[in-house]
Amino acid sequence: MANLKERFVDFIRSLQDEICSAVEVIDGQAKFQEDHWERPGGGGGRSRVLSNGKVFEKAGVSTSIVHGEMPEALKKNMKTDGHSFFACGISLVIHPENPMVPTTHANFRYFEMYDAEGERIDAWFGGGSDLTPYYLFDEDARHFHAEQKKAADSHGKDLYPKYKKACDTYFRNHHRQEGRGIGGTFFDYLKANEERSLEDWFNYTTDMGRSFLPSYLPIVEKRKDLPYNDDQRYWQELRRGRYVEFNLVHDRGTLFGLKTNGRTESILMSLPPRVRWDYNVEPESGSEEARLVEVLRNPVEWIKD
């Protein structure tokens, strides 16, 4: 039987194929462009980007499999004396054209650390997926969270509420006192312990990865043909500015990639093509835009048992 890291590499490559195929079908016009890259120091990846589609303005789905000596910046950041590492994962961001369709992000990864003799001294899984709407449809939020909860519950009823809260806490622009979106699940440093083995966490992480498409695509199908106007598009571009702020200031994956000499184009493929930072824009009181901001400031429990 293949070892854990080989099986996870197979999983992320297969999931990349599945997601890209589904996105192309629902877009009906644009196709992903693919390029392969190598990382100085070891490993590389496969990046796919779709641009200027009928439904999606930009979609990026990238897999990376990197290894090598632990950079000093990473050692300091992780407070470790590990000698070398192996990391693999899939990361995606989808930016729709229509502001009635939410942006989404997902990431699923596995990390191993080794001593100077090449013996594994640590290993963990991480990941999650979340939704960033520009106009809030409560039923869409409930659907997204329900699919996340269904996948998590098969591995323990404690996991969804724990990692839903972690998502609300992590995907937050603290300098704005608001969430990047309406959450989902976020988990990191899932290590073997008395309750669960690494194999258990492998099964949990892969099931959460498989839950992405049924979480998101039905929302796209429902909203992609809704009418919108220039003011709503303007609001979408303003909110995208907050998305960029999070990715460049707070996102661990972005910082990890840059500190380990990852490919910059692939790391920053998450950024939207059109975005605004107009000064001090506040939504009109009582508007749908204001309702969204209120929810972003005060996370909602979308699924109640």
Q: What is the 3-state secondary structure (H, E, C) of 8-48?
A: HHHHHHHHHHHHHHHHHHHHCCCCCEEEEEECCCCEEEEEE
The span from the CA of 228 to the CA of 231, in Å, is: 8
The span from the CA of 282 to the CA of 266, in Å, is: 33
> Between the CA atoms of 250, 252, 257 and 258, what dihedral angle is there, to the nearest 10 degrees?
30
Catalytic (active-site) positions: 105
- Residue 177: DSSP 8-state: T
The span from the CA of 70 to the CA of 222, in Å, is: 45
3-state class (DSSP) for residue 259: helix
* First vs last C-alpha separation in the chain: 39
Contact 95, 57 (CB under 8 A): yes
- Residue 70: DSSP 8-state: P
Q: Which residues partner with 88 through β-bridges? A: 65, 110
Residues 6+ apart with CB under 8 A from 189: 124, 126
> Between the CA atoms of 277, 280, 284 and 286, what dihedral angle is there, to the nearest 10 degrees?
100
Nearest to 4 by CA among 85, 88, 74, 106: 88
The span from the CA of 114 to the CA of 74, in Å, is: 14
